[in-house]
Amino acid sequence: MSSAAVTSSEFLDPHMLAKLRGLELRAARIVEGYVAGLHRSPYQGFSNEFAEHREYTPGDDLRYVDWKVFGKTDKFYLKQFEAETNLICYLLLDISESMQYQGPTAPLSKLTYAQCVAASLAYLILHQHDSVSLATFDDDVRQLVRPSSSPTQLKQLLHVMEGTSAERKTRTGPIFHELAERLTRRGIVVIVSDLFDNPEAMLAGLKHFRHRRHDVIVVHLLDPAEIDFPFQHVTLFKGLEALGDVVTEPRSLRAAYLQEVGAFLQQVRTGCRAQQIDYLQVRTDERLDQVLTTFLAARARRIR
Amino acid sequence: MNITVDRFSLILAFGFGSAAMLGWLAAAAAPLLIHLWSRRRYREVPWAAVTFLLAALRKNSRRIQLQQWILLAMRTLMVVLVVLAIAEPHGQNLAAGVGDVPTHKVIVIDTSFSMAYRESDASLLTKAKQLAGELVAQSGTGDAYTVITLSDRPRQLVGRDMVDRSSIVAHIEAIPQTQGGANLAATLDAVSSALELDAKERDRWTRQDVYFFSDMQRKTWAADGAGVRLGELAKNASISAVDVGAPRATNLAVTELRSAAPFATVGEDVAFDATLHEFGDEPRKEVRVEFLVDDAPVGEQTIDVPANSDASVRFTHRFRDAGSHAVAVRAASDQLEIDNTRWLVVPVEQQIRVLCVAGEPEDAKYLAAALAPDPSTESPIRPQVISESELVDTDLTGYECMFLSNVAQLTADETERLTHYVDAGGGLAIFLGDRVQAESYNALARGEAPLLPARLTDVRTEVQFGVDPLDYRHPIAAPFRGRERAGLLTTPVGRYFRLEIPNEHSAAEKALALPNGDPLVVTAPHGRGRVVLVATAGSLSSVDRTNGEPWTTWPAWPSFLPVVREIFAFAVGGQHEQWQAMIGGPLTATLPFDRGSGDFELTRPDGRKTSLPVAVSSRDQPWHYDETDVTGIYSLGRGGALVSQFAVNVDTHESDLAQIDPHQLPAEIKVRSDWRSANGVVASGVLSEATWNRPLLWAAAALVLMELCLAWLFGRGAA
């Protein structure tokens, strides 16, 4: 099926997204599909200093139409204001081995989904002329791309992301502390991870970001199988990240497992809320617009 | 007997219609094997959230294990129940029948004396009655009952017309212990006739069940033809046998008591031999055996009785008074006491009177001398010689034995008196001679019950030296065994009647023969007495008229005296038997004609008295009494004076408590021998047929449902 045969918003569905190859294409389709569904254009500044005119596109705020130019030329032009370029978005992408997991019903692995989320955010941010930075981590910081708003930044980020391989264990707590020290300029920190680590250490790391006055958005990615535990027959669960193997009859263990997972999610959610961190739990079979909406809300909050 | 029934104790035993199917019980291991196999066959998945899985596992492993065991047990039980159902289990219980089709139940209760065997406090009969009572008490209201005893004389105590169950139970409770045996054939006849219903009754009772409550003695149940008869009964009714017997029961019995001498006289030592038998695989040590005369203990010995064997004990007693004496041997008590005592009635005489009838005055001389060799001393035998013409006027009742020697012929009256005399137990020995008219004698050898054991044919003159003792088999010859020099083997016989034993006279026996094979002494029982016929003369006065030689010089030969005395002993040997009887057998006697002394009275061992009216007749009256249902001494008296006594003993065939192997019975007869103990009352057997495969299948189906529910519930616990 060609991408032309479907409307762009359908690419928000990970099942459709899975049919596309290339992170850039996926990011473009996600953002376009998302933007097409919005009533307001996200591509606008919020500064008071006039910068230039640009042609009206449907969805633009009519408040910024330059009626004088319309009177002279009979064409709609919008007044564009010089954007404040102090917005920096740090994308922290978990590339530990557990992110490789792809359940039987999931269209994408957690890592691929996370890459799509990060890429589409980068695409959106760069189109708003904001700066974006990317860090990949597992038990250490693997790659750190400095923040930039240049149009070539997207290429670089996509290149980094596509070159990742998930092989190692997670160590979120120390990594977050380290990054909080290294990311000195205030900005929006978007963490895309399954957070399968010690929750206390991880929350302590998040707190460090907040201490540095970053806005933090935690995108907690979980595979549907990890939430529903749909297994029926005796299964050998081969632990990723060298956690050992478990043979069990999953039906009898399902309730207890779900209880454990529920307790973990609750702890993370409560911890984030306590630190005024935007927490977003996302299943890898969910549409991606939720993530973008949450991000834009955070951005709008920051600019105001 | 208070019948309280624990409903669960009523299920007494069960069996399987297709026992081979029980092999499939091995399939019960299948759920376990499948469980183990599935544990080894798993799929592999990579998993990220192992931490949570491990935590869940750590907290719930016990619960999961328990749930798995519960489900596994239910699945195993399911298989077991299905296999059991396929194996067609059938059990019987007392409560069965409630709500069943109206049934005619024939209850047969063994009352033979072996049922008096006591285990703990209760006898087997008590247990049998209790179980039978429970059967009646627990049966359906539409059922009818017939109660029959299994005994020598089977009796029907309850008929189908009796509807009140409590009175039926009361009848069962009142069944007495008999001291007789068990006549299975007669009982089966009674059962068979009880099962014959008319058309109306067949509509009313669509089913008939027969229940035997018995100790299942081999001697009773392995009787000839019993299996066939039971098989025939099984065509019309469902037959169950409730084995109330004690497995491996042992029993000691006094099987025989007899006098070693043929007669007893006052002042003479009389030896009594008792035989004890241990019916069991263990020898019985130091058994105390008492000897009683007229109820007074006069001797005691202690003996060991080997397992499954006899042991003999001899007591000697000297009687001081003439008359009828009751002798008993009593062994120490065991669990079955009835057969531990054996009685014998011994008529003790001052002297034994023998009547010798001589054809010629000299003909009885040697006989009398042989019987009482020294007339000067007080001999226990007192022979009296009369001529043949005096016979007709002589009262024979006082004589234990009669010898006829060379009596020419016997008149019809004499023949009748002799026959009556022998019938009543008298001994008759006949020596022939030259005066004997064979035709007159041969009249006695004819008819249905001939007095003479052989016919006289021709007289043979053939001097023969020697007598063939015929392997000393006969009691008359037996004492000569090992005493070849006693003269028997060289006895000379020159002339004799050739005796011919009729083919139809099966009881006649040759005691001695001549070397050419012709019989010399022939004996036969007749009535309660015995007859001995000697082919040659008993004196030297019978002579061959052709040469003047005597028929035989035997009376002068050393063997004559012992042979005559053995003939006498043999002939009177039947005397004691008229005073002995087996239980259930008749007592018979000839009551003397004596109009003046009032009625006779019989005192039974249990103290009951029976009056016997004297028939109005001018002759001695034969008398008999049938109600001998208790062992012991029966005394016949008149006007306070003892006339005679009778000893009634048990038939020790019944003493062998060995049980029949149920496989020897027809397959339709279900013999159950499971024992349960409920409230101290030992119960056994299976009383009513009930098949259990349907309830088992229902139970299996219920388990399937339960298993599904539980599996869902356990799974749901996960949700």
Mean pLDDT of A234-257: 81
Q: What is the pLDDT of residue B340?
A: 92
Contact residues on chain B for A196, CB-CB shorter than 8 A: 48-49, 51
First to last CA, chain A: 43
- A231 contact B CB<8A: yes
CA dist A231 and A224 (Å) reads 12
CA dist B650 and B254 (Å) reads 10
Q: In the Cβ-directed half-sphere of A135, how many Cα atoms lie within 13 Å? A: 22
Using 50, 70 and 90 to split pLDDT, how confident is the model at A122? confident
**∠ Cα B3 B7 B13 (to 5°):** 100
A 129-188 residues with CB below 8 A of B? none
To the nearest whole angstrom, how far is the Cα of B713 from the nearest Cα of chain A? 10
What residue ranges in A25-104 does DSSP mark as E strands? 50-55, 77-81, 88-94
pLDDT for A3 beyond 60: no
Residues, chain B: 719
Q: What is the pLDDT of residue A4?
A: 39
A 35-54 residues with CB below 8 A of B? none
Residue A271: φ, ψ to 5°: -60, -40
Residue B638: φ, ψ to 5°: -145, 120
Token pair for residue B33? 């094997």
- A249 contact B CB<8A: yes
To the nearest whole angstrom, how far is the Cα of A236 from the nearest Cα of chain B? 5
Residues, chain A: 304
> Computed from CA positions of residues B365, B368, B372, B377, in that sequence, does the dihedral angle turn out positive or negative?
negative
Task: Give whole-number Cα distances, B131 to B109, B451, B604, in Å.
Answer: 10, 54, 32
To the nearest whole angstrom, how far is the Cα of A96 from the nearest Cα of chain B? 10
Token pair for residue A42? 């996200």
> At which residue do the structure tokens 């009635």 appear?
B345
B286: left (phi over 0), alpha (psi -120 to 50) or beta: left
> At which residue do the structure tokens 């564009």 appear?
A80
Token pair for residue B615? 């028939």
Token pair for residue A273? 């809320």
Contact residues on chain B for A243, CB-CB shorter than 8 A: 50-51, 54
Q: What is the pLDDT of residue B498?
A: 92
Contact residues on chain A for B68, CB-CB shorter than 8 A: 249, 252
Token pair for residue B8? 């669960």
Contact residues on chain B for A257, CB-CB shorter than 8 A: 49, 52-53, 56
Mean pLDDT of A270-289: 87
Neighbours of B504 (CB within 10 A): 8
Neighbours of B36 (CB within 10 A): 11
CA dist B282 and B131 (Å) reads 31
Q: Which residue has the higher pLDDT, A80 or B711?
A: B711
Task: Give whole-number Cα distances, B96 to B7, B162, B688, B699, in Å.
Answer: 10, 21, 6, 19
Residues in contact with B414: Cβ distance below 8 Å, sequence separation at least 6, in sequence order:
B391, B392
Per 3-state DSSP, chain A is made up of helix, strand and coil in percentages (nearest 5) of 45, 20, 35
CA dist B315 and B321 (Å) reads 18
Q: Inter-chain contact A252–B60, Cβ cutoff 8 Å?
A: yes
Q: Inter-chain contact B50–A244, Cβ cutoff 8 Å?
A: yes
> Computed from CA positions of residues B404, B407, B413, B415, in that sequence, does the dihedral angle turn out positive or negative?
positive
Residue A213: φ, ψ to 5°: 65, 25
At position B513, the amino acid (one-letter code) is: A
pLDDT for A172 beyond 80: yes
- Smallest CA-to-CA distance from B430 within B568, B575, B573, B576 is with B568
What kind and span of H or E run contains B232? helix B226-236
CA dist B118 and B125 (Å) reads 9
**What are the residue ranges in chain B where pLDDT is below 50?**
1-13, 94-99, 674-689, 718-719
CA dist B421 and B217 (Å) reads 41
Contact residues on chain A for B59, CB-CB shorter than 8 A: 256
- Smallest CA-to-CA distance from B571 within B356, B411, B257, B335 is with B356
Q: List the single range of A28-37, A132-141, A196-205, B598-607 with lowest mean pLDDT.
A: A28-37
Q: Inter-chain contact A235–B45, Cβ cutoff 8 Å?
A: yes
| Residue B487 near residue B557 (C-beta atoms within 8 A) | yes
| Residue B266 near residue B348 (C-beta atoms within 8 A) | yes
At position A155, the amino acid (one-letter code) is: K
